[in-house]
Chain A
């Protein structure tokens, strides 16, 4: 676990349109925000991105200026689609943390669509936010019928 950030933390979610990139970044931003940070989040979304490469940037700290992470300044890069790794790898700062689907035992996912939630579980290990905050945000961001599957997926990423 890292200690609470004193500067702007930069987390980028990346993958293909329609695979849960935006949703994962929404939840992460929600957790950081509810925990008292100033949060900014930037992405280009819409149907026009469907099936294509997408990224969503979340920046948080006591003060955040641009919502977009500068070149090569990602502290964390969460890639939800293996084919997109090379497209986005350059965004990671030296010493930054890369999270990829291979980090998850995907065979144990309740559904393939829940990969983004499992990746959030994996990401959660690197922050001091309480586990209950992550789970509350997951519930706030998904319809009730998905809560149980999401809890399983999150646990798979957080405590494999």
Chain B
């Protein structure tokens, strides 16, 4: 949208992602960092559009670490990722709760119940409990806007990174937001309340050796006990008294489904759902004749309530643990209706675009009867008919490790057919250690790694990454060279081929590489057809600049591709 909708009373119609971005701006966030992932991607893009400083990291772990440094320096920082991205960043998460932070650190994690665009439907609430990180759960865009401010205040008051759990419906649904400041207003630090960045040495709290981490763990648990008490007495949760016959405890988008399914019900809407305000829930449950927990995904809330000895009803997890909830499903839960649900007519699945360069690469792999260890991106669609040319896909970067594992144990005739196939952004995200493993523990039959370089993070909507030579806002920067990386890791056979214009060459080189017992990396480079125009225009502009400054890249990852 070129201009956000605004009504006469000054409300804006924003997606949850846009509301987070606007709130981040109004909170004086000094830096936004993350890795693209549906449904979280638009947060940083919107933040940048609004004038905030935002950047893409190579992966979520790096993003969370960059954010941590900024928070150690007392700044307010926003880090965004999808739910599976938090797996990558989990290593940071589990210890930065121990160390704590000086500034305000909010990590937005976007869950995808129903798997609209993900490989699993993991429930990030379990991370809050496991890593001991406070967790906020907005229900709509206004909530996202308001709660982000509370989240920063909480992070700063208790010196702890906080999780901000959104779901696909909260991220992508639009609803009205009444902002604290007029759109476009230039804010002072007094208005945003953001602290000034400053380094204060604190080795005991920041260096998590055992001697420091042992007391840090105790300190963390003490913070949580204090925060739980605050959540009970003054937290952002909301009790709505209506009929005493039915009470519903819920959080996030489920609140709105439940309000519609049971308008007469009393409601307890949790906004700070970890640490749970158990005494608030206990009092609410005791105030109604029947108390039902409405939650998507895992029975996390219900299990906690039952463990605390509360008399509550949980959903039937044989049915409702799977997929998103909606008004109809919440009605069924309230009616204790576990009969089979109506099956909606099957729509058309997504497919590779007409003219997509990935399609050619997978046709060639299929013609050579390859066993394809694949990865995550648009090209995963090649696993579906008519291509059916990808044999496995699990997580970002796994193509290489899984391919090597297959090569190590398969009989020679099968091992020789194994190819690891990974996209450009995914390679930089999670594939680099796999490349090193390939050179360090090469299978007897060698291995072939095919990097599909379409010059963008296409799957999530054409975001930049370190291999494009452009930052989040389109500014030019150093371009990482895959060819150099492969050679530096120890791979001698490195080829760059345009799969569209040099299809026969790709097939020949691939066949030859499969025949040899050596390590080969092939970069299949041809731009995403949706991004090609934009990339070409940018390249032209850079060339004009380079003619005057002579800073052009001299390696083969440069401008040999003029398509």
Contacts and interface: CB of A to CB of B under 8 A. Distances in A.
A30 B350 contact: no
Interface stretch (B94-102, B397-405, B437-445, B453-461): B453-461
A90 B343 CA distance: 11
Contact of B347 (A50, A65, A84): A84
Contacts of A83: 348
A48 B459 CA distance: 6
Interface residues of A, number: 42
Contacts of A43: 172-173
B5 A30 contact: yes
A42 B378 CA distance: 23
Given A52-B348, A141-B2, A65 B260 contact: yes
Interface string B344-369: 11111111110000000000000000
Contacts of B11: 33
Contact of B257 (A26, A65, A88): A65
A33 B5 CA distance: 7
A70 interface: yes
Contacts of B344: 90
Given A53-B347, A53-B348, A47 B256 contact: no
A26 B458 CA distance: 23
A39 B174 contact: yes
A49 interface: yes
B169 A42 contact: yes
A46 interface: yes
A71 B328 contact: yes
B454 to A, nearest CB: 12
B116 A50 contact: no
Given A67-B256, A68-B169, A70-B326, A36 B348 contact: no
A39 B176 contact: yes
Given A34-B5, A47-B461, A141-B1, A42 B173 contact: yes
Contact of A44 (B172, B378, B461): B172
A67 B176 CA distance: 11
Contacts of B414: none
Given A34-B7, A47-B458, A68-B327, A42 B172 contact: yes
A160 to B, nearest CB: 28
Given A53-B347, A70-B326, A90-B344, A38 B176 contact: yes
A67 to B, nearest CB: 4
B3 interface: yes
B411 interface: no
B254 to A, nearest CB: 9
Interface string A60-82: 00001111101100000000000
A90 B347 CA distance: 12
B259 interface: yes
A9 B143 CA distance: 23
Interface string A6-26: 000000000011000000001
Interface string B1-39: 111011110010100000000000000000000000011
Contacts of A48: 38, 116-117, 350, 459
Nearest to A23: B1
Contacts of B386: none
Nearest to A46: B38
Given A26-B1, A50-B353, A140-B3, A65 B13 contact: no
Contact of A46 (B117, B346, B348, B352): B117
Nearest to B350: A52
B175 interface: yes
Contacts of A141: 1-3
A45 interface: yes
Contacts of B7: 33-34, 36
B211 interface: no
Contact of A90 (B253, B345, B460): B345
A36 to B, nearest CB: 6
B460 A52 contact: no
A142 interface: yes
A51 B259 contact: no
Nearest to B141: A40
B401 to A, nearest CB: 24
A70 B327 contact: yes
A29 B5 contact: yes
A86 B345 contact: yes
Interface string B251-285: 00100110110000000000000000000000000
Contacts of B259: 65-66
Interface string B158-195: 00000000001100111110000000000000000000
B342 interface: yes
A40 B175 contact: yes
A143 B117 CA distance: 29
B257 A66 contact: yes
A72 to B, nearest CB: 9
Contacts of B352: 51
Contacts of A142: 2
Given A29-B5, A70-B326, 7 more contacts: A39-B176, A43-B172, A46-B38, A50-B353, A70-B260, A84-B348, A140-B2
19 contacts: A26-B1, A33-B5, A38-B176, A42-B169, A42-B173, A46-B39, A46-B459, A47-B461, A48-B116, A49-B116, A51-B353, A52-B351, A66-B256, A66-B326, A71-B328, A83-B348, A84-B347, A87-B345, A140-B3
Interface of B: 1-3, 5-8, 11, 13, 38-39, 41, 116-117, 140, 168-169, 172-176, 253, 256-257, 259-260, 326-328, 342, 344-353, 378, 458-462
